[in-house]
Amino acid sequence: MKSSENNGGLRRAPHLFSLLVAVLAAVAMWYVVSVRDRLEAQVEVNIDYYGIPPNLVVTDGLISKITVRLRGPETLLRSIPQQRLTQAVDLSDIKKGVTIVPLGGDNLGPNFRAFELVDIQPPRIVIKADTLLERSVPLRTIVDSPLRGGALTVENVSVSPATVVLRGPEDVVSDISSVPLTIMLDPKAAGTTVHQTIALDTPSLVTATPSSVRVQYTITSGRTVVSRRCKVELAGENRRQYTVEPEEVTVLVEVPEALAKSARYLGQLEVSVTPPSLEPGQSEKAELRFRLPEGMTLLNPATEEVTVFRKKK
């Protein structure tokens, strides 16, 4: 009998030891989580919105992130900056006008349940919303040209489609009677029919359907070839130490007919050369550079290179 009782005591000893270990582990975890090194940390939380009513559009108040100050164990706080914290905010209850959406600990989700929430900035979101309005409006063409003085004449301007559907806040869309469409003429297309696709420019929060339109127009003024005698200019800080040969070159250019006799326009054609690195008395070939005004096309320069000489001291 004594032998049997002793064996029973030996069997109970491991169970008591395991229970003691479990209690000590639980106390240690409680100490780590609840007592040891409780610190504060500030983290940024990205905001995602959902549930916006289909008949409304938010015009102001949407923020991308909030700042949250937390208090908790150091070991857990260290892991937070390594995470991308995101919080979803439900906007299904907003109305037309101003709605205040509070931000509290109950709204921050499971990521923060192990911490004490000290502060949230901002503590609320002030949302402004307006009724979503759709409206069909015509396009208003504005023909613009980089050339002054009516150098280009345009005919047969057509836009397809001629109207677009605007969608956006009622306060904005209701005041729009037409959408301006600026057509920037291409001077090099003089005498031809031009086809372009132009994206529409609409106010903020307003979208257009379609977002771009097809434009067709004809530039009735043609183009002609002009021969110009241009002086070769030396570029660079030490240009006075150099000379160039020949000093002038003949250049053939194509220009709009209306500007073929405009001295001011043709005078914008510039020919230059940058001197290479030379010792005094040396010379070397260098490539010409041409600067053309808008609408001018370089056809065939008489030469593409000149000889640059560095003067002797």
132-223: CATH class: mainly beta
Q: Tell me the two tokens of residue 50.
A: 């959902």
Which residue matches tokens 């127009």? 217
CATH topology of domain 224-310: RNA Polymerase Alpha Subunit; Chain A, domain 2 (2.170.120)
Q: Is the pLDDT of residue 2 over 80?
A: no
At residue 304, the pLDDT reads 79
Q: What is the mean pLDDT of residues 229-239?
A: 87
Domain ranges of the chain: 40-131, 132-223, 224-310
Q: Is the pLDDT of residue 63 over 70?
A: yes
Q: What is the mean pLDDT of residues 39-63?
A: 89
| Alpha-carbon torsion angle 180, 181, 186, 189, nearest 10 | -130
> What is the DSSP-derived secondary structure letter of residue 302?
S
Which residues, at least 6 apart from 228, have a Cβ–Cβ distance to it below 8 Å? 250, 251, 252, 253, 266, 269
Q: In what order do the strands lie in the sheet with 297-298?
A: 289-291, 270-273, 223-234, 248-256, 297-298
Which band of pLDDT confidence, cut at 50, 70 and 90, is reported for residue 4? very low
Q: Is the pLDDT of residue 1 over 70?
A: no
Which is more confident, 179 or 9? 179
Q: Tell me the two tokens of residue 67.
A: 């700042």
Which residue matches tokens 């230059």? 272
Same fold, 40-131 and 224-310: yes
Q: Tell me the two tokens of residue 100.
A: 């205040």
Q: What is the pLDDT of residues 120-154, one digit of tens each?
A: 899 999 999 999 999 999 999 888 877 665 567 77
At residue 34, the pLDDT reads 52
At residue 10, the pLDDT reads 45
> What is the DSSP-derived secondary structure letter of residue 78?
T
Q: What is the pTM of this model?
A: 0.57
At residue 259, the pLDDT reads 81
Q: What is the pLDDT of residues 178-217, one digit of tens each?
A: 999 988 887 777 777 889 999 999 999 999 999 999 999 8
Q: What is the pLDDT of residues 244-282, one digit of tens each?
A: 999 999 899 988 887 888 888 899 999 999 888 888 888
Task: Give the count of beta carbons closer than 10 Å to the beta carbon of residue 163.
Answer: 13
- Mean per-residue pLDDT over the chain, rounded: 82
Q: What proportion of the chain, given as a percentage, has pLDDT over 90?
A: 35
Q: What is the mean pLDDT of residues 45-64?
A: 92
CATH topology of domain 40-131: RNA Polymerase Alpha Subunit; Chain A, domain 2 (2.170.120)
Q: What is the mean pLDDT of residues 218-236?
A: 85
- Please state which of the ranges 46-55, 94-103, 140-149, 201-210 shows the lowest mean pLDDT: 140-149
At residue 257, the pLDDT reads 80
Which band of pLDDT confidence, cut at 50, 70 and 90, is reported for residue 164? very high
Greatest Cα-to-Cα distance within the chain, rounded to the nearest angstrom: 132
